[in-house]
Every structure is written in C-alpha cells, then in structure tokens.
Amino acid sequence: MKTILLATLSAAALMAAQPLMAKTLVYCSEGSPENFAPSVNTTGTSFDANTQIYDTIVQFERGGTKVQPALAEKWDISPDGLTYTFHLRKNVKWQSNKSFKPTRDFNADDIIFMIERQWKENHPFFKVTSSNHSYFNDMGMPKLLKSVEKVDDYTVKFTLNQPEAPFLADLAMQYASVQSKEYADAMLKAGTPEKLDQDPIGTGPFYLVQYQKDAIIRYKANPDYWAGKAKIDDLIFAITPDASVRWAKLQKGECHVMPYPNPADLDAIRKDANVEILEQPGLNIGYLAYNTTKKPFDDVKVRHAVNKAINKQAIIDAVYLSSGVAAINPIPPTMWSYNETIKDDPYDPEAAKKELAEAGYPNGLEIDLWAMPVQRPYNPNAKRIAELMQADLAKVGVKAEIKSFEWGEYRKRLQAGEHQTGMFGWTGDNGDPDNFLHTLLGCDAAKNNGGNVAKFCYKPFDDLVVKAKTVTDQAEREKLYRQAQVIFKEQSPWFTIAHAVQLKPVRKEVKDFKLSPFGRHTFYGVDIGK
C-alpha cells in the first residue's frame, strides 16, 4: 500500500512539474511598430502591435463595426447628443513591468489622462514621443470637446460643443487606447516619461515581454484580463517585411497567420492543403495625392490632365491582379453613402496633352512622384506602380522623378507637404464615411501635418463633410456625403488607384481568427490546435 501511495505521489509530482504545453501563435508581421504610443500612431502595423496591450473605452465587436462595451460597461447619451456619460468597469487590473508595479485598478483618472495628453498643449505628456496627435486633430476633437469631467472614480462625462454623429465609434479607435496615469506620473517623477510609450503596460489581453525592432515582438496572455484569459498563452510577432518570405514561413509552419500576400503568390497559396485564405472586400483606398498647395498641382486642370494620362486599369491588372478593383471615389463601394453615379476620368493621353497645354504647359513639365517603400493593405507594390505611372506620364511630356524614403520618414515628410505628388492610402477605422471624407480631406486634417497629404482645403467640400458630422439622421448624412463625392471628383485632389480585397492566409490549425473590416489583426479569442 505504501509503495502504491509513493508511486501515485510521484506521478502527481511529475505532472505538477510538467505543466500543459503552452499554446503559441506566431504572426508574421510586415513591419515594426512606430512605438507603443497609441495617440501618435497612424499605421496599421502599429495598431496591430498596440491593440494586443491596450483597451479603449468602447470597442468594435470582433469582425464587425458594431460598438460594444469595453472599459466602459455602459453609457448614457443626452437627448441633444451633446453629453456622453460612461460608466466604467470596476476591478480592471493594470499590467506591470520591471519599471512599475501598479497600486490601484483602472479608473476615471486614466480616461482623463488619455484625452488631455492629446488635447492640452501644456500637459506634461503632450510632447512626449510626439506632439503630432494626428487622429485627434484630424477629426477636429480639439474644437469638438467642450469638457471631459470625472464625475467619480468610475464615471466620466464628455460634453461636446455640437452633436457628433460618429463620436461613439470614434472612441473605439486606436488613438483612444487608455494608458495608466499612475504609471505616467511615476515615470515623469523618475525623469523618464518616454518609458510610458517604450515599455508599455495596459489593461489588454496580452502584455509585452520583449520587443526587438525589425525582428520580434513577444507577448504573453494577461491572466487578469477583465474579459477572461486569452485561449493562447504566447503570441509572437515575427517581423518579416518580405511577402515572399512570409509565405515561405507560413508554408513551413514557422508562422500561423500572415498579412498582405503577394498577388502573384495567391495561386500557390490556394493550392496548399494546410492553408486557407480568408477573404472579404477591403474597407480601404490607395491613391496618389496631389499637393494642391504647390505648383503645378494648385491648378485643377493639371490634376485632371495627369488623371487622364495614367492607365489605371493597366496598373490594377499588373500589380493588384485579382486582389483589387478600380477606385473612383475616395470611399470604397461597400461603404454606405457611396455615390455610384460618379464617372472616373478616362484614360486619354491626347486629352491629357491638350489640357496640359491649356494650363500653360504645352512643352510638358517635371514633377516628383513619391512611392512608399513598404507593402500596405491598399497597395501591394508602390514602387512598381510608380514605374508604370512614370512611363505613362512620359508619353504626355511629364517627366516624373520617383522618390522614396524609409517608411517613418516617408510619412513624416509627406504629412509635412514636401512632395508634389505622393502615394498613400487608408484603411477605415470605424465604418463611417467621416473617417475617410473628413479625416483625409477636410480642412482640419490639412493643417498640423495631418492625414490630408493633398493639403486640400476647399470650403464647398469642407462645409458638407463638417455638416454631415453634426446630423444624426443617416439619410440626411448620406445625401451630404454623396454631394461631397461629386465635389471631390470635380476638384480631384487625388488620383484614386484601387480598393484592395482583404486576403489573409491562415494555417488550418488556427481556430476562430476573424477578419476585421478595418484590416486589423487581433488575437484575443483565437485558438490553435491540430
């Protein structure tokens, strides 16, 4: 009996010493995040890295655009649409790291900190990492917000200067990710405020273990996550800029999910028995922005002439293959208020030459043509597109010099308006037309190095999109946005290129990974197994 008992105890001890094998999911990310400062990030690459760590006040449901509770359990909206009162969750734990151990749970102070850091220029964290809070500014938040008040530790009241139809959805976006005020105060006191954004802690489903730029990000599941521990234990971002290398790693099982496959690889990917491609229309736009404040593109005739000089369909056939559709409007066809009556400028080199001559350039002209150095959801190969555009423009007497920079530098210079023309694009954040038409083309976004890289500030257009923000009736908003698209096409601040189909190769052992309409990659709720 004693021998049997000892044997039983030994087996139990052995099982205790050998915990169940941890579940690890590897995501082959296309690049490194800008940083871990949600208020200043502008790229999907950074959003992906940050969203694992942080939560927002409200969030979008997985795979959809409906707003649901997150750090706020519920909310009240006043009948006039000017006051939003959020009732916050209790017992939400902050993560910790080597620099900081929290002494309190998440509360209203953290919401106030998140907003004021972006809003108040005299705030001690306004300039930490960057003072360019472009989302907050581009959406006109400084003018919209009247006050943000702490009612008590678990109640926050937002008061607006005017109604804002997409306000709740705006608060589900990544710029509104909540950081710890207690951690911020401790790092400020220690003389290292930048640690808040370099060595982050959040309330999210995963916490950061290691980050090595251009190599790897390691996360572990947060055991105290308010919505329950993630199904996977370890999450790894294997930073792999080359799409062909990402595909090779996916084939070998070295990663489980990959973004942005090369269109030329799709046939091979579809034939792999261990991989499936998740697919849905992309809520995105790729475009060439004309700097409307610089010659010659301050002249609408030149903009239309260049539109007609470029063979859009040839670009889509050569670069997007089966993964893109020609873009006419600045919003995708799947978005409500899309104006299907608008016609594109036709490909017509002879008309382009004639219009250039009428604009004062009978002998052609020289311009720059900026091309992104990276693959993006809306543009699989900007360098190749630039070369095709360059060849088309040469046929009408326009000599285009292709320029590019490292991705961070490219965006910084483009937003500063150093270019004459520059390729850029957008993936929607909240499913509302405002997120394209005002955030990318409104006057607010043309200032302060914002997202309006065409520097397009045209009052008839701006009046429509600003008014549409304040109207609660969707039919009325739709009417305003359809009119705005007509003006956009008349003024042509962009050469609209394409809307890319969202394609996500995933290994079949991955369970319940959902495509986000916003092109994001979130791994809470995802499982892995044979």
CA 228 to CA 388: how far, in whole Å?
50
Cross-sheet strand order for the sheet of 155-160:
72-77, 83-88, 155-160, 145-152
pLDDT of residue 20: 59
pLDDT digits (tens, 9 = 90+) for 305-362: 999 999 999 999 999 988 899 999 999 999 999 999 999 999 999 999 999 999 999 9
CA 264 to CA 392: how far, in whole Å?
23
CA 85 to CA 150: how far, in whole Å?
10
Residue 2 has pLDDT above 70, yes or no: no
Q: CB burial class (10 A; 0-12, 13-18, 19+) of residue 147?
A: exposed
Our measurement of the distance from residue 70's CA atom to the centroid of its chain's CA atoms, rounded to an integer in Å, reads: 19
pLDDT of residue 449: 83
E strand spans, 386-452: 398-403, 421-427
pLDDT of residue 408: 86
Q: CB burial class (10 A; 0-12, 13-18, 19+) of residue 174?
A: buried
pLDDT digits (tens, 9 = 90+) for 473-493: 999 999 999 999 999 999 999
User: Are the C-beta atoms of residues 346 and 253 closer than 8 Å to each other?
Assistant: no
Residues 6+ apart with CB under 8 A from 317: none
Report the percentage of the chain scoring pLDDT > 90: 91
CA 201 to CA 187: how far, in whole Å?
12
User: What HEC string does 140-202 produce?
Assistant: CHHHHEEEEEEEECCEEEEEECCCCCCHHHHCCCHHHCCCCHHHHHHHHHCCCCCHHHHCCCC
pLDDT digits (tens, 9 = 90+) for 244-280: 999 999 999 999 999 999 998 999 999 999 999 999 9
Token output for 45? 């690459």
Q: Mean pLDDT in the chain?
A: 94
pTM above 0.75, yes or no: yes
Between 10 and 70, the higher pLDDT residue: 70
User: Are the C-beta atoms of residues 508 and 274 closer than 8 Å to each other?
Assistant: yes
